[in-house]
């Protein structure tokens, strides 16, 4: 999440490079002061305006002539190795708030919307720049989380000894998929947006997704769960 004035633009150089090399690097830049962040999608949570600077002078030092200017909060999915992806998140408490939101339910709606637009099954808080322990999860094939939801302060109570190796992707690593070994079944505890404590037993893909997102909250990205050689092979595409 960000406040203060931001300038959002599309990088034509990256678009051309993606087309030429068959890559899928982020083409959207969000500039705030001297800091740039890059993403594939961004949701603006308030007033904004589109500005065209004309042919005489670019609006930004990078050469952008058309930008979206806003002081509103934005939700964006950060790409590896953004700093928040490498940080350990702290527990959510009743005293915590989310900037730009008066209630958790509205934020839950918006975060899930971003996850679905990105075609994800899970989205952790630090992937959108918030180092607190919660993530969005949900898919029609799931049992416990068939209906999409944010779960708060999630934890694994027990793991099965049986392991599975399955392919995983990640919204912070576009178009990279790799086989990761994880416990097949887990028992978990979490809090709902309404503040209720829940327990569940998860299996298969639902278990894998929960563990993947929980890793994010501990600053662990899925490339850390495989050998260096396997990661290099996957990253070459």
What does the pLDDT look like over 42-72, one tens digit per residue? 877 678 888 887 777 787 877 888 888 887 7
Q: In the annotation, is 213 catalytic?
A: yes
Among the options 108, 168, 206, 213, which is catalytic?
213
Q: Which of 216, 219, 235 is nearest to 227 (CA)?
A: 235
pLDDT tens sequence for the chain (237 residues) = 444 688 888 888 888 888 888 877 778 888 877 777 777 778 776 788 888 877 777 878 778 888 888 877 778 899 898 889 999 999 999 899 887 788 888 899 999 999 998 899 999 999 998 999 999 999 999 999 999 999 999 999 999 999 999 999 999 998 899 999 999 999 999 999 999 999 999 999 999 999 999 999 999 999 999 998 888 888 775
| pLDDT value of residue 237 | 57
What is this structure's pTM?
0.78
Contact between 156 and 208 (Cβ < 8 Å): no
CATH class held by domain 83-235:
alpha beta
Give the CA diameter of the chain: 65
What does the pLDDT look like over 206-217, one tens digit per residue? 999 999 999 999
Q: Which of 157, 151, 155, 156 is nearest to 195 (CA)?
A: 151
Residue spans of the domains in the chain: they are 6-76, 83-235
Name the β-bridge partners of 10: 28
| pLDDT value of residue 1 | 43
């Amino acid at each position: 999440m960000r406040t203060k004035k931001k300038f959002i633009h599309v990088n034509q150089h990256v678009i051309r490079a993606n087309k030429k090399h068959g890559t899928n690097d982020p083409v959207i830049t969000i500039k705030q002061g001297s800091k740039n962040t890059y993403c594939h999608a961004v949701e603006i949570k308030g007033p904004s305006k589109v500005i065209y600077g004309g042919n005489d002078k670019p609006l930004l030092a990078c050469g952008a002539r058309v930008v979206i200017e806003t002081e509103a909060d934005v939700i964006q999915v950060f790409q590896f190795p953004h700093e928040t992806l490498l940080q350990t998140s702290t527990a959510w408490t009743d005293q915590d708030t989310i900037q730009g939101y008066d209630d958790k339910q509205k934020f839950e709606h918006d975060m899930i919307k971003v996850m679905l637009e990105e075609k994800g099954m899970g989205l952790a808080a630090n992937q959108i720049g918030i180092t607190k322990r919660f993530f969005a999860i949900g898919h029609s094939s799931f049992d416990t989380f068939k209906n999409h939801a944010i779960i708060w302060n999630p934890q694994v109570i027990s793991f099965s000894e049986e392991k599975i190796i399955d392919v995983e992707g990640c919204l912070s690593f576009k178009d990279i998929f790799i086989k990761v070994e994880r416990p097949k079944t887990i028992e978990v505890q979490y809090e709902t947006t309404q503040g209720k404590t829940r327990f569940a037993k998860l299996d298969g893909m639902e278990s894998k997704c929960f563990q993947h997102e929980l890793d994010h909250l501990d600053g662990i990205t899925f490339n850390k769960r495989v050998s260096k050689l396997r990661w290099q092979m996957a990253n070459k595409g």
